[in-house]
């Protein structure tokens, strides 16, 4: 099963997820948004599967600092445009393991996904 981890290298939650995956011996490909960017087509596919509300990190500083006009009237296309422009607004990490997608990091959720 191909495993891809998407996020930002220096994010504390990302560090925890990567440490957990490494400790469990899970091979994965890491995509750093700060280095490689966030692809609109990939984000659209992710949003189609889990919904833009789950993917957009509204709790983060980057989103909260946006002018009210940019934060209001959100829909999938506007959210995708915001996330492409500022990948820090994407919930982290995004783990894609085969057809499975997990947003955020919780050891028990990862454990259930990668159990024997």
DSSP character string of 45-76: HHHHHH-HHHHB-TTSHHHHTS-HHHHSS--H
H/E stretch holding 77 reads helix 76-85
For residue 116, the model assigns a pLDDT of 54
Q: Mean of the pLDDT values across residues 67-95?
A: 95
Q: What is the pLDDT of residues 29-63, one digit of tens each?
A: 999 999 999 999 999 999 999 999 999 999 999 99
Q: If you search the block for the tokens 């009237």, which residue do you land on?
A: 73
Query: What pLDDT score was predicted for residue 115?
Result: 85
pLDDT band at 7, cuts 50/70/90? very high
Catalytic residues: 11
| Predicted local distance difference test score (pLDDT) of residue 5 | 98
């Amino acid at each position: 099963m191909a495993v891809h981890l998407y996020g930002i290298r220096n994010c504390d939650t990302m560090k925890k997820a990567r440490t957990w995956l490494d400790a469990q011996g899970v091979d994965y490909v890491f995509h750093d948004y700060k280095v490689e960017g966030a692809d609109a087509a990939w984000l659209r596919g992710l949003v189609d599967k889990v919904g833009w509300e789950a993917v957009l990190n509204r709790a983060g500083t980057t989103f909260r600092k946006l002018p009210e006009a940019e934060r209001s009237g959100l829909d999938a296309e506007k959210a995708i445009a915001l996330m492409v422009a500022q990948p820090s607004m994407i919930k982290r990490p995004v783990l894609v393991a085969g057809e499975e997608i997990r947003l955020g990091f919780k050891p028990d959720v990862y454990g259930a996904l990668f159990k024997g």
